[in-house]
């Protein structure tokens, strides 16, 4: 931060693993973390003590912070973000944006009313490898193949497979590859997807999805495939393939970072970050970009509208899967009050 622009203080609404990643990114960016709130006082105190912050109640936020990271369960996202925007804070809202499109509509309206001070935390959009891949996408020419995969084991923490969460692997993990696929196709000049088809596979002992295969359909017959799975492992595999008439891009985000163009390795920026994963997966550049956006009075690139666009694809995919893989049109014309799981089950 410059002398005439002091570092904005940050607070955490949530004290889980993802909130911890944001806290670490804030400290690396030189932003003080001043307050932590959680559903349990014990977790708030534990994280606050490690950060030199104060443990507070949700109602106390923003507690002197200019930026609040909302990393609560999805069912709390809309309520937490709307209240904090009204309280004057800028909000980093973790993915998935929220549980219903009605909530998403309210978040977009509130973000507009507050000068775009809401960041949809799709951290991969800020990852150096993903940004480099998107920049190279026009070089491959007219697209013939796009596939983005996020494959890993079922999380052993959190309530990801409960009805309360709202959706499973596609809703939570799948928004990452969906966003990347949409950004790649946008960079290739395809615009927005117009239809979605999907197949979901559930897991044992719960009513949520653990594996999803989604096809985004674009004008002119172009397609992008997204696979999100909690039925893989033990090592996570996150990769991207983009082929066109003039070339091929291949990228790995996990377990290693690697980008190739026509078989040749593409040099990526050298990280000086003490915790490289926070830069490699976009957490640090995401936060520093948002600080600059706030100072300049502009909305972030990953705004509430983009988050809603991703959620519309998610809703259409769950609906398609509930109807045996039938094609669902975009923009989504179905219920704006149902969660993804409810749409899947209703068919």
Residue-level pLDDT at 5: 73
**Is 335 within a domain?**
yes
Does 168 lie in the same domain as 52? no
DSSP string, 172-228: HTTHHHHHHHHHHHHHTT--S--EEEEEEEE-TTSSSEEEEEEEEE-GGG-EEEEEE
Does 198 lie in the same domain as 188? yes
Q: Is 31 helix (H, G, I), strand (E, B) or coil?
A: coil
Does 313 lie in the same domain as 164? yes
**Is 223 within a domain?**
yes
**Is 280 within a domain?**
no
Contact call for residues 126 and 180 (beta carbons, < 8 A): no
Q: Mean pLDDT in each 10-residue stretch from start to end of the chain (347 residues)?
A: 75 96 98 97 96 97 98 98 98 98 98 98 98 98 98 92 97 98 98 98 94 98 98 94 98 97 94 93 98 97 98 98 98 98 93
Does 102 lie in the same domain as 79? yes
Q: What is the dihedral of CA 91, 53, 39, 74, to 10 degrees?
A: 20
**Is 258 within a domain?**
yes
By residue range, what is the domain housing residue 38? 10-124+290-303
CATH of the domain at 112: 3.40.50.720
Does 262 lie in the same domain as 136? yes
**Is 140 within a domain?**
yes
Does 213 lie in the same domain as 163? yes
> Which residues, 6+ apart, have CB-to-CB distance to 7 below 8 Å?
1, 29, 30, 31, 32
Residue-level pLDDT at 10: 98
Measured CA distances, 223 to 37, 197, 340 (Å): 42, 11, 22
**Is 273 within a domain?**
no
Whole-prediction pTM? 0.96
Distance CA 47, CA 292 (A): 26
Give the total number of structural domains in the chain: 2
CATH of the domain at 214: 3.30.360.10
Does 62 lie in the same domain as 177? no
């Amino acid at each position: 931060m410059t002398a005439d622009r002091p570092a904005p203080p940050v607070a955490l609404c949530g004290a889980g693993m993802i909130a911890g990643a944001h806290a670490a990114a804030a400290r690396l960016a030189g932003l003080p973390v001043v307050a932590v709130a959680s559903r349990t006082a014990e977790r708030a105190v534990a994280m606050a003590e490690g950060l030199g912050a104060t443990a507070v109640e949700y109602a106390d936020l923003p507690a002197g912070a200019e930026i609040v990271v909302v990393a609560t369960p999805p069912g709390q996202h809309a309520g937490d973000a709307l209240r904090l925007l009204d309280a004057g804070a800028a909000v980093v809202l973790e993915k998935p944006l929220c549980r219903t499109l009605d909530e998403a509509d309210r978040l977009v309206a509130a973000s507009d009313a507050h000068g775009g001070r809401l960041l949809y935390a799709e951290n991969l959009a800020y990852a150096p490898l993903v940004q480099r891949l998107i920049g190279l996408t026009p070089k491959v020419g007219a697209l013939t193949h796009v596939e983005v995969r996020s494959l890993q084991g079922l999380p052993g923490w959190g309530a990801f497979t409960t009805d309360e969460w709202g959706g499973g692997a596609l809703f939570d993990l799948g928004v990452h590859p969906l966003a990347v696929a949409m950004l790649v196709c946008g960079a290739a000049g395809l615009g927005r997807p117009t239809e979605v088809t999907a197949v979901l596979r559930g897991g044992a002992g719960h009513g949520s999805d653990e594996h999803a295969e989604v096809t985004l359909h674009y004008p002119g017959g172009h397609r992008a495939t997204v696979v999100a799975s909690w039925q893989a492992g033990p090592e996570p595999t996150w990769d991207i393939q983009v082929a066109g008439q003039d070339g091929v891009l291949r990228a790995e985000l996990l377990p290693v970072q690697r980008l190739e163009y026509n078989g040749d390795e593409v040099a990526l920026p050298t990280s000086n970050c003490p915790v490289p994963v926070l830069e490699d997966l976009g957490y640090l550049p995401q936060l520093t970009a948002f600080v600059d956006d706030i100072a300049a009075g502009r909305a972030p690139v990953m705004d509430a509208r983009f988050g809603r666009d991703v959620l519309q694809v998610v809703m259409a995919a769950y609906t398609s899967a509930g109807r045996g893989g039938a094609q669902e049109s975009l923009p989504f014309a179905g219920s704006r009050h149902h969660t993804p799981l409810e749409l899947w089950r209703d068919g």
